[in-house]
Amino acid sequence: MSHDSSKVLGRISGPGDLKQLSPADRVQLAREIRERICRVVSRNGGHFGSNMGVVELTIALHTVFESPLDKIVWDVSHQCYPHKLLTGRGEVFDSLRTYEGMSGFCHKDESEHDTAYAGHAGTATSIALGIASGRAALGADRHVVSVVGDASIVTGMTLEALNHAGWIGERMIVVLNDNGMSISYPVGGLHKALTAVRGTGTPESNPYRPRGPQDLSPDLAGLDVGGFFERLGLDYVGPVDGHDTEALIAALEQVKGRGGPTLLHVHTRKGHGWEPAIEDPITWHAAKGFWREPDDDRAQAAPLAPNAPRRPSWTQAFSRALIDAAGEDPRVVAITAAMPGGTGLDAFDKQFPDRCYDVGICEQHATGFASGLRLAGLKPVLAIYSTFLQRGYDQVVHDLAIQGNPAVLAMDRGGLVGDDGVTHQGLFDIAYLRCIPDLVLASPQDEPELRAMLRWALRGERIVGLRWPRDTVPEPLEREAPPIELGKGRVVRGGEGDAAFFAYGAMVQHALEASHLLSHRGLATSVVNARFAKPIDVELLVQQLERHEVVITVEDHAEEGGFGSACAQAVLARRPDLVGRLRIAGVPDQFVHHGARPLQLRDAGLDAAGLALRVETALRASAPARLRSVALLSSPAG
């Protein structure tokens, strides 16, 4: 999209340029922002509905406040695209979510207007309150605003922050962006209360306005949402129409002058300005491939998948496996923390609605809830992203492990996650889980093995953490996976030779591809499917070290404290004389930002070419005479 100076958006190089706009200009600006988001998200992919819903709110915030002197903290930052467009990033917005391009979330390195990295729900109000308190202590007189969705406000961290804010009385503003949605449909008692305030019908038939008990259905009569926040110690203002820019500016000017913590309740519609997204907010939470010119008769009204992969995703494979396992055992139940679609539990819920629990964005509660379900005699499967399980870590230790309550931790997005970037990387789960006594860690190489591991885990009496990446499943090596035995791996290629890959989970496929590359260069390499990161198959690992010059552990995880570290520790305890033959291939000790997963694997040296190069480099160091006979090794790139 060109930046025509006659357009309003083209004249905005920063928030200061908004101050002189007329109401008519602001209406036009909102229209242009939505058009730009449509164009770029359609091509690059990204969060759609949430961004379309906060355009007027973002214009109002940057009109009233003076960022970056005033701090605006966006919770999750699913809704930060209008903010990016108004804070000097319009020229690079086309690079959204591309490799080395603009992040799809708030990103401190991109702009001084991004107060914090964001990607997890519930963090903004704590950060904002900390800034407000710190500035007060230093005598600084600036405003601090957190923008929180109605799904995020029920997270424990947000409620803790509101409780604290009301107690200490520091000046700050919490904008509750209430659109009645999470990624999926939200749950919980507070959501029910907010729904009552919001009412039913369209904005035209049911204008946004403060509502009293007389407006509520009989079972909700007497409900006082504003009173809940006021009893915590916050002033409550609203609800305000979140698509009326002038009303928002007036409301923000009003709360700006208050001296303590204030909650401004704003009603918006997820997907506003794009009717299909309003009608189906779940499908349109994130989208790609839908935009056509407004006058193009080929215009599409639904997200497209022009390059849909032929292979199913790991998420789909897990979903099928769990449904089958639940069909065989009525005690199997599933839990999600507001991510039924992302974890594959949406399909499970259709099959077993009475055995699927969505607890909202409450990972700590989800994990403790799993402990209770096990105590009641059920077999809980907590389906959760690796990065989000970090938020329930204490409950894994305190409520599952110490209590001896077995559960299956089904960790999706283990490893490098691609375009979602730094806050979503699942690079730490092996390290933070393998130190917990009696907990088992396993990862499948393909779909048959995933099915076998899940059934095996559900039959046992230990906590089992299973992990898989955000990727498609490879072609299975065998129709049926060989039986799963605790702590036992298996050789899937070779057995003797120059070097061996001791690979974990989905990295077996990359190790096999590297092994084939090396065979064309005159090097014989074996591939082991380790299956378990805890306990390590020490006997098999030692055997490979005895039979090969070099053994390289391969994991889609941080090298520090991960699978390779566990292997080195095990060898050091059993055969310290062989440790010198061991090499660790994982993600280097640094945070990884957004980009396509294949590129991230390449950069970490974990794709087939990178793994092959690791073998050549290791062998060159350990047996140079042997490698001088391999002519192709003269090319470092292979």
Catalytic residues, by residue number, are: 270, 363, 391
Whether the Cβ atoms of residue 348 and residue 326 lie closer than 8 Å to each other: yes
Opening angle at CA 350, ends 349 and 356, nearest 5? 15
Query: For the CA atoms of 116, 120, 124, 126, what is the dihedral angle to 10 degrees?
Result: -110
Which position has the token pair 């509905």? 49
- Residue 178, strand partner residues: 267
Tell the burial category of 189 from Cβ atoms under 10 Å away from its Cβ (0-12, 13-18, 19+): exposed
Nearest to 399 by CA among 383, 413, 380: 380
What six digits make up the tokens of 112?
Answer: 């001084």
Which position has the token pair 């000097």? 88
State the Cα–Cα distance between residues 379 and 382, nearest whole angstrom. Answer: 10
Query: For the CA atoms of 130, 136, 142, 147, what is the dihedral angle to 10 degrees?
Result: 20
Residue 238 is classified by DSSP as E
- Residue 383, strand partner residues: 410
Whether the Cβ atoms of residue 606 and residue 510 lie closer than 8 Å to each other: yes
Tell the burial category of 26 from Cβ atoms under 10 Å away from its Cβ (0-12, 13-18, 19+): buried
State the Cα–Cα distance between residues 280 and 49, nearest whole angstrom. Answer: 9
Query: Both ends of the chain: CA-CA distance in Å?
Result: 41
Whether the Cβ atoms of residue 441 and residue 433 lie closer than 8 Å to each other: yes
Angle between helix 563-574 and 538-547 (nearest 10): 80
Q: What are phi and psi of 45, to 5 degrees?
A: 80, 160
State the Cα–Cα distance between residues 490 and 290, nearest whole angstrom. Answer: 45
Tell the burial category of 508 from Cβ atoms under 10 Å away from its Cβ (0-12, 13-18, 19+): buried
Chain Cα centroid distance, residue 433: 19
State the Cα–Cα distance between residues 366 and 336, nearest whole angstrom. Answer: 7
How many Cβ atoms are within 10 Å of 198's Cβ, its own excluded? 19
- Residue 411, strand partner residues: 384, 467
What six digits make up the tokens of 634?
Answer: 């003269």
Q: Is 382 helix (H, G, I), strand (E, B) or coil?
A: strand
